[in-house]
Structure 1
Amino acid sequence: MLRENYGTWRCGRHEIGLTRPRIMGILNVTPDSFSDGGKNLDPEAAIQRGLQMLDEGADIIDVGGESTRPGHRPVSPKEEAERIVPVVRGLVAEGAVVSVDTRHAEVAQLCARLGASIINDVTGFTDPAMVQVAAETDCGLVVMHWDQGGLGTHAPRRQVVLDESRPARPEQPRPTVSSHRFTLPDEAPIMRQVMGFLGDQARTLMRAGVQRERICIDPGPGFDKFADEDVVIQRATRSMVSMGYPVLTAVSRKRFVGAVSGVEDAAARDAATQGICISAVANGARILRVHDVAGAAQAINAYWAVSHKDSRQGFVSLGSNVGDRLSNLARATQLIDEIPLTCVAAVSHAYDTEPAYGIATSVANCVVEIRTELHPLVLIDKLLEVEKSLGRRRADAKTRDPKKPGTAARTIDCDLMWVEGESHQGAKLTLPHPRLGERDYVIVPMEDLMHDPTRFLTHGGVTVLPREQRVGAVTSDLGPVAWE
């Protein structure tokens, strides 16, 4: 299928596809961050918040242990590590893609060893020690622009209102009054500085041995920049995208967001943040760093669905061991075909399979091949609605163990197994399905839909077990599923 963007961002063992926008959830483990300081100081609370963000739609969790708001107290690498290491370790253990927001090479190196996949350096890898860490790991890298001397546009005194999250910038002198007045400074000199720095630092990393595919750039909104300058930079997003690196948009709750929206309270700027994020995505940015993951995911998913043709292949495993099993499979397939922005492309035969995972009776299973334009987390909600409409009652998500499949009888079970170009980790959804390669009752039906599912799945990073080692062995062919 032809796509507008085939780009990927290589981040350690993860390969993040950029055919659609990705959300980086902000997890500040600090007492003094500008809009959420102190909320996640307890490591367990921070880990739970990170896992919650995954279920809300985050693809990446960005963990930070040092605030850079005006008047902040710089922390030592030791203190920063004490704050974030338990959180990084806990999230990595859950399979999350973890980014570490640090300017300290020692902390970056330690977190990389613990399994962090991304190093997000606000100083843009200007420290040779950070460049060395980058070269010695396989992490994805965020190169951010921050010139503490400012961009030199000599904005009027009335504009010197700085981002709460960043160190103060000395007040600039008033410019000479000209007969030609413009609402914003000239774009060219600003973008020469910003893009020149980002390009130089990216090349420094590549000369040190870092692959280009690991590098992402961030223009650093709010870091010693006036609101007018930040607006100019955001309007030039397409120019930054043309540099050939993924562009990260990190505008969440910044002062300039308040300036353009009229919202004083930083924590109340999420709607305005989402508006700017949509503009960035429209101009080619593909990673969005936000505090309000749920709101951003809702806004971006809706925007993407109505603005881009982005049909993806997927596979849903259906199973039934109650009542008229074949009718249950057929009705579930019909309901899946009725999901908005989704259609059924093909359906395997139904197969009788041995009980698995503690189920007492044999199960009728099939696999449905779909095409969908929905975000996987939106799609899984629709599949759960299909289950509910056919009388399936799952255990409460707050009390059940997501790593242990349910053993109760069910009229229908709808498992989203695989979606083209998608990987996700969370209690609500894991893609590819973590048990896909061990299920005979999925692999065998997939043979009806393609020549070699083992090769197909292996190419997508799924380990498929030999048939004698699988669970839920197929015992007989029950024939076609009459769903149309």
Structure 2
Amino acid sequence: MLRENYATWHCGSHEISLTRPRIMGILNVTPDSFSDGGVNLDHKKAVARGLEMLDEGADIIDVGGESTRPGHESVSAQEEAERVVPVVRALVEAGAVVSVDTRHADVARMCVRLGAAIVNDVSGFTDPEMVQVAADTDCGCVVMHWSHEGLGTRAPRRQVLLDESRPTGSAIQHPVSSQRRFTLPDQAQVMRQVMGFLGDQARVLMRAGVSRDRICMDPGAGFDKLADEDVVIQRATRSMVSMGYPLMCAVSRKRFVGAVSGVADAAARDAATAGVCISAIEGGARILRVHNVAAVSQAVNAYWAVSHRDPRQGFVSLGSNVGNRVANLARAAQLIDDIPLTCVVSVSHAYETEPAYGIATPVANAVAEIRTELHPLVLMDKLIEVEDALGRIREKGRDPKKPGSAPRIIDCDLMWLEGETHAGARLTLPHPRLGERDYAIVPMEDLMHDPERFLAHAGVPVTPRDERVGHVTADLGEISWE
């Protein structure tokens, strides 16, 4: 393992690595949310949008069935469940890390039983029943600050100042405007309320038996707060991170984002949202809750790549059954080594393997160990470019997650990447068939002492050798790729 930062957020069966920013895609299954109400009210459309967000770069899908926009009308737990349960069930079955955005204990408990990994409670777990749900399960918990009375931190226009030139006890009044004037309210008062509430609710959860590493904080941007107060809170990101919990930045399309960017239309605030998110990341926030996953993911990936040194270990399986197969493997390794922010550390021997997954002829296989600083979806696209550069012909209409039977000059499968789990049509990590492939595990023995133990530690179940597919039949020797 390469990384020095092993911070994780424990959410059910998932351990979400926070060594890089994570994106939580907003999936509102509501008719009245402030910027996308009604778009995904149909269950099938909602599921399709959730899967699409995974392919755009979302690490988590946050499913909500009740709008919390200003002036919203509350819905019953039963109505909310009818909206979100089918969507949560389908996304969990697809392998997604699912969060349920709810303040109803019955809905939260139902969704966690279906496999939701996170409960995102806008009321900050102030309901004892919600605390009990957290205590009875192993879900991740998002504690959000929401003061329904507002923070009320407007600074007074006048204040009494002691004139030190006069006798002790004597005071005069000075207009604040003539002495000192501030554009924003006092940070101390705002942050005492926000951080005090978040800390108190975290302790409530921990006293109920919720482990600290399951708790995430959200200062609640836009929830009964003035734009000035939201800016104060965002500027205090480092202070909130210092509390020792993962911090969420949930500013997407909020009113204060429009106020500071000059964009009136909520749906047009995605570029401004990305700007605020990048500021929050620099302050230590690691979960970004956004509507436009593709735009924010693109901005964050570019920012992170150029501003943070973040090398990760990975393994790419290479296969060829057309032409000079070993030469194809060598050329693929060379092209992978040319990918920006990526290098090949070592390549295993080439191995003759039995045909698998409907392929008609034996295959030459190898595994390349890499280091990369690219987002896994970006790296996957670069691996596809390597295949295309070598003349790979693809089967039309084939599910990209299922092996095909067509001959291939080269096949580059991203099998494992340090600290990364992902679900989606474009990419699944770790590779869902890694543990059953003899033609992947045997070459890995050239690169490490005990790949089966390594994979087991990474949560990848390994099939006994005699039950695997694509058995190795011969060693074809070293690959000259450097």
TM-score with structure 2 setting the length:
0.95
Q: Which residue of 2 aligns with 1:431?
A: 429
How do residues 229-308 of structure 1 correspond to structure 2 at under 5 angstroms? 229-308=229-308
Q: Deviations over 1:241-273 (max 9, x none)?
A: 000000000000000000000000000000000
The answer to whether the 8 Å contact 2:30/2:40 transfers is yes
- For residue 358 of structure 2, give the secondary structure of its aligned residue in structure 1: coil
Deviation of 1:400 after TM superposition, in Å, equals 2.4
- For residue 253 of structure 1, give the secondary structure of its aligned residue in structure 2: coil
The AA in structure 2 aligned to 1:455 is R
Structure 2 Cα separation of the partners of residues 57 and 83 of structure 1: 24
* 1:149 is the counterpart of 2:149: yes
RMSD over aligned Cα, in angstroms? 1.4
- For residue 340 of structure 2, give the secondary structure of its aligned residue in structure 1: coil
Q: Which residue of 1 aligns with 2:194?
A: 194
Deviation of 1:103 after TM superposition, in Å, equals 0.5
Deviation of 1:73 after TM superposition, in Å, equals 1.7
The AA in structure 1 aligned to 2:373 is E
Structure 1 Cα separation of the partners of residues 154 and 462 of structure 2: 61
Q: Deviations over 1:404-431 (max 9, x none)?
A: 2111100000000000111101110000
- For residue 35 of structure 1, give the secondary structure of its aligned residue in structure 2: coil
Structure 2 Cα separation of the partners of residues 4 and 357 of structure 1: 39
Deviation of 1:336 after TM superposition, in Å, equals 0.3
The AA in structure 2 aligned to 1:233 is I
* 1:440 is the counterpart of 2:438: yes
> Which one of the candidate residues 406, 416, 419 is aligned to 2:417?
419
Deviation of 1:150 after TM superposition, in Å, equals 1.1
Q: Which residue of 2 aligns with 1:165?
A: none
Q: Which residue of 1 aligns with 2:135?
A: 135
Q: Which residue of 2 aligns with 1:409?
A: 407
The answer to whether the 8 Å contact 2:155/2:186 transfers is no
How do residues 357-436 of structure 1 correspond to structure 2 at under 5 angstroms? 357-396=357-396, 399-436=397-434
Q: Which residue of 2 aligns with 1:466?
A: 464
Structure 1 Cα separation of the partners of residues 49 and 232 of structure 2: 34
Structure 2 Cα separation of the partners of residues 326 and 277 of structure 1: 46
The answer to whether the 8 Å contact 2:2/2:313 transfers is no
> Against the structure 1 CA distance between its residues 192 and 177, is the aligned structure 2 distance closer, same or farther, given a 3 Å change threshold?
same
Structure 1 Cα separation of the partners of residues 13 and 405 of structure 2: 33
Deviation of 1:27 after TM superposition, in Å, equals 0.2
The AA in structure 1 aligned to 2:417 is V
Deviation of 1:10 after TM superposition, in Å, equals 0.4
The AA in structure 1 aligned to 2:472 is V
Structure 2 Cα separation of the partners of residues 178 and 393 of structure 1: 75
The answer to whether the 8 Å contact 2:401/2:427 transfers is no
Q: Which residue of 1 aligns with 2:213?
A: 213
Q: Which residue of 1 aligns with 2:51?
A: 51
Q: Which residue of 1 aligns with 2:310?
A: 310
How do residues 83-94 of structure 1 correspond to structure 2 at under 5 angstroms? 83-94=83-94
How do residues 309-328 of structure 1 correspond to structure 2 at under 5 angstroms? 309-328=309-328
> Against the structure 1 CA distance between its residues 4 and 150, is the aligned structure 2 distance closer, same or farther, given a 3 Å change threshold?
farther
Q: Deviations over 1:371-398 (max 9, x none)?
A: 10001000000000000011112235xx
Q: Which residue of 1 aligns with 2:479?
A: 481
The answer to whether the 8 Å contact 2:401/2:426 transfers is no
Structure 2 Cα separation of the partners of residues 347 and 186 of structure 1: 58
Structure 1 Cα separation of the partners of residues 85 and 470 of structure 2: 40
* 1:449 is the counterpart of 2:453: no
> Against the structure 1 CA distance between its residues 94 and 178, is the aligned structure 2 distance closer, same or farther, given a 3 Å change threshold?
farther
> Against the structure 1 CA distance between its residues 412 and 156, is the aligned structure 2 distance closer, same or farther, given a 3 Å change threshold?
farther
Deviation of 1:138 after TM superposition, in Å, equals 0.6
The AA in structure 2 aligned to 1:236 is A
- For residue 344 of structure 2, give the secondary structure of its aligned residue in structure 1: strand
How do residues 106-145 of structure 1 correspond to structure 2 at under 5 angstroms? 106-145=106-145
- For residue 464 of structure 1, give the secondary structure of its aligned residue in structure 2: coil
Deviation of 1:152 after TM superposition, in Å, equals 2.0
Q: Which residue of 2 aligns with 1:170?
A: none
> Against the structure 1 CA distance between its residues 155 and 92, is the aligned structure 2 distance closer, same or farther, given a 3 Å change threshold?
farther
Q: Deviations over 1:328-347 (max 9, x none)?
A: 00110100000000000000
Q: Deviations over 1:192-246 (max 9, x none)?
A: 1100100000000000000101000000000000000000000000000000000
- For residue 141 of structure 1, give the secondary structure of its aligned residue in structure 2: strand
The AA in structure 2 aligned to 1:433 is H
> Against the structure 1 CA distance between its residues 88 and 416, is the aligned structure 2 distance closer, same or farther, given a 3 Å change threshold?
same
Deviation of 1:288 after TM superposition, in Å, equals 0.2
* 1:30 is the counterpart of 2:15: no
Deviation of 1:482 after TM superposition, in Å, equals 1.0
- For residue 103 of structure 1, give the secondary structure of its aligned residue in structure 2: coil
TM-score with structure 1 setting the length:
0.94
The AA in structure 2 aligned to 1:467 is R
Number of aligned residue pairs: give it.
465
Q: Deviations over 1:315-360 (max 9, x none)?
A: 0000000011011001101000000000000000000000000000
Structure 2 Cα separation of the partners of residues 345 and 147 of structure 1: 53
Range 51-60 or range 71-80, more displaced: 71-80
- For residue 285 of structure 1, give the secondary structure of its aligned residue in structure 2: coil
Gaps of 5+ in 1: 158-174
Structure 2 Cα separation of the partners of residues 16 and 178 of structure 1: 52
- For residue 258 of structure 2, give the secondary structure of its aligned residue in structure 1: helix
Deviation of 1:181 after TM superposition, in Å, equals 1.3
Q: Which residue of 2 aligns with 1:66?
A: 66
> Against the structure 1 CA distance between its residues 177 and 126, is the aligned structure 2 distance closer, same or farther, given a 3 Å change threshold?
farther
Structure 1 Cα separation of the partners of residues 401 and 371 of structure 2: 27
- For residue 221 of structure 2, give the secondary structure of its aligned residue in structure 1: coil
Gaps of 5+ in 2: 158-174
Q: Which residue of 1 aligns with 2:19?
A: 19
The answer to whether the 8 Å contact 2:100/2:108 transfers is yes
Deviation of 1:179 after TM superposition, in Å, equals 4.2
Deviation of 1:154 after TM superposition, in Å, equals 2.9
- For residue 71 of structure 2, give the secondary structure of its aligned residue in structure 1: coil
- For residue 54 of structure 2, give the secondary structure of its aligned residue in structure 1: helix
